[in-house]
Structure 1
Amino acid sequence: MTKAPFVAMSVATAALGTALGSLALQLRANGYEQYVESVATFSVLMYITAALVVVTWVRDGQTHSN
């Protein structure tokens, strides 16, 4: 498989994680503490998803031994 879909998906997901992390900081600064934990958790999940996409790409590039 080509690497373009994996790279695009990983970059987009990491960018979403960064945007959500920034939003969590803004929410904390503006006093919306009840939403910070949820947004920060979703941000971390986006980074984990981006890492898993990279792992999938690496594993897909390996030779298959059957």
Structure 2
Amino acid sequence: MTKAPFVAMSAATAVLGTALGALALQLRANGYEQYVESVATFSVLMYVTAALVAVTWIRDGRPRSN
């Protein structure tokens, strides 16, 4: 399997996590406290997903033994 899908997916989810984190900060600054926790949780979820994709990328590159 090529490395490009792993890199693109990991980068895209990390960028989405960053954007959602910025949105959570903006919501807090504008007084929309009821939405901050949900958006921040989803931001963390995107970072975890990016990390798991990176782990999959690393594991895919390891030689297989039969």
* Coarse TM-score class (shorter-chain normalised): over 0.9
Distance 1:39 1:50 in 2: 17
- CA displacement at 1:40 relative to structure 2: 0.1
Q: Which runs of 4+ in 1 moved over 3 A?
A: none
Q: How many residues align?
A: 66
Aligned to 2:32: 32
TM-score (norm 2): 0.98
| Structure 1 unaligned residues grouped into runs of 5+ | none
Identity %: 86
- The one-character-per-residue Cα deviations of 1:2-57 (angstroms, maximum 9, x if unpaired) are 11000000000000000000000000000000000000000000000000000000
Aligned-CA RMSD value: 0.4
